């Protein structure tokens, strides 16, 4: 029993010495200094624009984001069907050069809608994103583009073009639609390094 008590006392003394050593490592008062770290983001204003439009992995001008979905609902209307929807989304483009032109063109893939469960294709007559027409004669389909008066604020970094409304008009040529039917289509987007998507 005495042996065990002696070991306990020695252990306690050693632990006490260890804690004393740690506690004595105090900061020295008023002995702190700082070095500032400053980063300036510069315009990519090299004489030659480094953008290579043929490189799918290029990082200077990229289409970062488009709306996740355009969800419409409507009642039966007869042969011509029109409906619209509001949303809070955006088309986002990244650009590193103030004076670079760019534009995003959207279109309805194949200009039709597929009727779920059938092979039918219903032609799309009109499709608008923020009042920009994607279908038909004279439609440019340009849904986002660089400002004419370009600045670092409005034409570099991540540039967001708000998408707040969409409208569609299509034709049920053979009067196939029934209540509870579902149709689907796709809107595709292409980024160009020109102001007119050409």
Summarize pLDDT for 137-165 with one digit per residue, the tens.
889 999 999 999 999 999 999 999 999 99
Domains (ranges, CATH) in the chain? 61-192 (2.60.40)
Residue spans of alpha helices (H) in 31-184? 152-155
Summarize pLDDT for 53-76 with one digit per residue, the tens.
899 888 999 999 999 999 999 999
Summarize pLDDT for 71-88 with one digit per residue, the tens.
999 999 999 999 999 999
- The helix, strand and coil proportions of the chain, stated in percent and rounded to the nearest 5, come to 15, 35, 50
For the segment 44-59, the average pLDDT, to the nearest whole number, is: 87
pLDDT at 56: 85
Burial tier of 118 (Cβ tally within 10 Å: 0-12, 13-18, 19+): exposed
Q: Looking at per-residue confidence, does 3 or 104 come out higher?
A: 104
Q: Looking at per-residue confidence, does 12 or 181 come out higher?
A: 181
Q: How confident is the model at residue 9 (pLDDT cuts 50, 70, 90)?
A: very low
Quote the DSSP letter at residue 194.
Answer: S
The mean pLDDT value of the chain amounts to 89
């Amino acid at each position: 029993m005495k042996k065990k008590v002696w070991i306990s006392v020695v252990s306690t003394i050693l632990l006490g010495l260890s804690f004393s050593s740690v506690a004595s490592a105090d900061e020295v008062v008023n002995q702190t200094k700082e070095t500032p770290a400053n980063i300036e983001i510069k315009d990519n204003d090299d004489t030659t624009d480094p953008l290579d439009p043929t490189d799918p992995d290029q990082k200077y001008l990229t289409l970062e984001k488009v709306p996740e979905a355009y969800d419409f609902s409507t009642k039966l209307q007869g042969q011509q069907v029109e409906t619209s929807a509001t949303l809070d989304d955006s088309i986002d483009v990244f650009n590193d050069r103030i004076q670079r032109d760019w534009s995003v063109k959207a279109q309805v893939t194949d200009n039709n809608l597929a009727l779920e469960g059938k092979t039918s294709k219903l032609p799309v007559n009109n499709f608008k994103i923020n009042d920009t027409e994607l279908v038909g004669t004279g439609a440019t389909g340009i849904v986002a583009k660089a400002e004419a008066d370009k600045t670092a604020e409005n034409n570099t970094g991540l540039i967001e073009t708000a998408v707040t409304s969409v409208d569609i008009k299509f034709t049920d040529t053979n009067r196939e639609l029934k209540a509870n039917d579902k149709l689907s289509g796709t809107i595709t987007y292409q980024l160009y390094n020109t102001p007119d998507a050409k």
